[in-house]
Every structure is written in C-alpha cells, then in structure tokens.
Amino acid sequence: MAERSLTLMAVHAHPDDEATSTGGILARYAAEGVTTVLVTCTDGRCGDGPGGVKPGDDGHDPQAVVAMRQAELAASCEALKVTHLETLDYADSGMMGWATNDAPGAFWNTPVDEAADRLAELIRRHRPDVVVTYDENGFYGHPDHIQAHRITMAAVERTGIPAKVYWTTVPQSAFQEFGKVMQEIGVEFPEPDAADEMPALGLPDDEITTWVDTRAHGGQKFASLAAHASQAENIFFLRLGQERFTELMGMETFVRVRDSTGAPTPEDDLFAGLR
C-alpha cells in the first residue's frame, strides 16, 4: 500500500487571502510533492466590482462579484498548483462595523460551532499534517479573519488530527522596509484613530518560530496575487513588479502554536519533525 503523502491545509477568509501570506508555502510544498488543501471561508462579495465599484455603491452587484472572484480564486490555485480547493461559501462580512457583519449568512454572524463542524469534516477527509491560519486578531482585525481563526482552532481541537498548527505573522523588523516600499509606489495609509485600540501588527523577530524561504516560487506567488485582478486597487504589492515583490515577500513567517513532533525552533520548514 502506497505511503500517504504529507498534507498541508491553509484556512483563509476570502478569495485572494491565500496569495499574500501563504502563496509561497502552497507553491513550495506542492513542488515538493506535498498535498495542498486551501479552504476559503467566504465568497468575497464585499470586494470591489468590475471597474473598481465599491460595495454599497450604485452598480455593485454582490452576486456578480462572487462569480468573478470564484473564477479568480480558481486561477490563483492553478498558479500555486493547489491540490484541493474547498469553499465554505459563507457571505463575506465586510470590514468591522459594516452593516454586512450582521447580514443573514455572513461568516461573522455564523455560530462558531456550526462553521467549525464543517471545517472539522474537511480535516477528517483530508487529514492534514500541518494546518495554517491567522492569529486571534486575524492579523489586522478583519472580522472574517478572526472568525477563520476561531473555527480553525475549534476544528483542530475536535479532530486532534494535525500534528502542527501555525498562525501567519510578519516580523516587526520588516515593517520599516514595507513602509519605505509603500512610499516608493505612492501608497499612503491614513493615520490610525487614537480611539481605535488596534493591536500591534506582527511580532518581534525572536518570537517568530518558523521562517520559510519561498523565493524560488516568487513567480508563482506573484501570479497568484495577479490572478485576483478585480481587487488590484487594494493589492499594493502588484505595483512592485515580480522581482522586487519576490525580494520583499519571499520569506513567509509563522508562529507554531501546536506541535506533536518536538522539532526544535526556530525552524525553516513547516514539516520539520514529520520527514
């Protein structure tokens, strides 16, 4: 009987989320013969429509946006050579505080147990050795990212199947370089409101457990991001060009939060201790 291949599962909130923080690992591990599974929790209906029309504006057709983004997601998966795409198809909740947070069928408005049951079924089917998702703040506070974190951790606890679980992060040492690059390409971010208690993004470098070099797959990661052309206005990194993008985004970093292998940290491989 053939030995089962190692399996990686990445759980993301929206179409296009897979590209930025995990496009490199999805491409790298697929090339190494690992079975890769992408779970996308929402349909992306709160994204931009054709021509950049914004949600809530005249001419924004959520169902048309869903169809467009599903096609883009399929193209992204092809670029990354993802083995299996699974979609939970909850309604995109929009940004925190939007009325869409409370809409019927919105992911943020879905009981965690209900969604975790569905994800647990996928975990039992695919039996991932490694699961990757967001931290408890969804990295930057998006409700659907927070919900993806919650259902993933609940599903992992229910199944007990993954040997290792990781949360995506960014080293704080990288933010200064990110800021310089954003200035170079003309991207300006509004000053945060002092009333907003936004947790600091990323982690100190010495708290990051796992540094995975994915530069050899920078072209695939860039192509994955470019596949989401309808959201290009919000995908700032496309303006860098592939070479500069790979230099800036070629190291993907994680915090290991569950482990049964005893592999020492820091590590440079999500499958350390499993092969």
Report the CATH number at residue 40.
3.40.50.10320
pLDDT value for 182: 76
Ranges under pLDDT 50 in the chain: 1, 194-195
Residue 131 lies in a domain: yes
For residue 274, being part of any structural domain is answered with no
Q: Which domain holds residue 211?
A: 7-259
Q: Is residue 193 part of a domain?
A: yes
Give pLDDT, residue 270: 98
Site of tokens 């002092």: 194
Distance from C-alpha of 129 to C-alpha of 103, rounded to nearest angstrom: 35
Asked if residue 266 belongs to a domain, the reply is: no
**pLDDT recorded at residue 195:** 47
| Distance set, CA 228 to CA 12, 42, 240 (Å) | 15, 15, 16
Q: Does residue 267 belong to any structural domain of this protein?
A: no
Whole-model pTM? 0.93
Provide the b/e sequence for 145-167 (b: ≥16 CB within 10 Å). bbbbbbbbbbbbebbebbbbbbb
Q: Is 77 within a domain? A: yes
pLDDT at site 1: 44
> What's the pLDDT tens digit per position in 143-190?
999 999 999 999 999 999 999 999 999 999 888 777 787 777 777 765
Residue 247's contacts (CB-CB under 8 Å, 6 or more residues apart) are 215
For residue 265, tell me if it sits in a domain. no
Task: Kindly state whether residue 43 falls inside one of the protein's structural domains.
Answer: yes
* Domain tally, the chain: 1
Longest CA–CA separation in the chain, Å = 60
Place of tokens 């198809």: 89
